[in-house]
Structure 1
């Protein structure tokens, strides 16, 4: 049995749902289709929880299942047969899936952490790191000094480092 309780299932769902949707989107180029695929993976996993034997870990299982379900969806809708074959070829090695899974999870952790920054720090950090504005452009746009922008970026990086380190240690303890 994969899950000993509904709470355990819920934790896995909450941790992996968004990264899996982003991963599925890569295959189907539709947010709705990606969500449908991930929901179907979770429903099937719950329904077959007593029969599934996961050998390589829940993360690998979920990302591999999502990949397979996405390819199945593409095949069913007869979209770009060449694309499917190319993606199948690219995705053959399981370590590639593992690396991609880690990348999607890391992006999700980073986004969660950025949303936890103090509002002004978050705004300045996003303008700099996500939108690519220079410190001078941010200072001008927000009517601040360049030094204030520098301080907020430094503060944001320090807070993010702490949050991501804590998340990593929490994940290692699971």
Structure 2
């Protein structure tokens, strides 16, 4: 017997937009709470979760989930958060190098 998430995932793969909406409605708040807890910024967290759902829709035909849908979405969120922190670290490194360049140039 298939779970509701398995049924929704099958419908999502078949490009059923109502299944996407159900997944979004069901998991949005959970994912947002996790992101806010990790980042501490509501607007940025909303952007990251929104990006996750955009990716889910765009990759719906190629998604292979070996765990449950909930576990997959949380894992995908952690990946997005990791990418954000890595990008932020690289950005800060460049700013520090620019500051040194400006300081040395004076």
Higher normalized contact order (CA 8 Å, seq sep 6+, divided by chain length)? 2
Whole-angstrom distance in 2 between the partners of 1:39 and 1:26: 16
After TM superposition, give the deviation of residue 71 of structure 1 in Å: 1.5
If you compute each CA radius of gyration, which structure gives the higher value, 1 or 2? 1
Residue aligned with 1:50, SS: coil
Q: After the TM superposition, list the runs of 4 or more consecutive aligned residues in structure 1 that deviate by more than 2 angstroms.
A: none
TM-score, normalised on structure 2? 0.69
Q: Which runs of 5+ in 2 are unaligned?
A: 1-8, 91-106
What is the aligned partner in structure 1 of residue 65 from structure 2?
54
**Kept after mapping to 2: 8 A contact 1:27/1:71:** no
Q: CA deviation at 1:25?
A: 1.1
Q: Which residues of structure 1 form unaligned runs of 5+?
A: 80-174
Please point out which of 57, 75, 93 is paired with 1:64.
75
CA-based RMSD: 1.6
Please, what TM-score do these two structures have when normalized by structure 1?
Answer: 0.43
Between the two proteins, the alignment pairs up a number of residues equal to 79
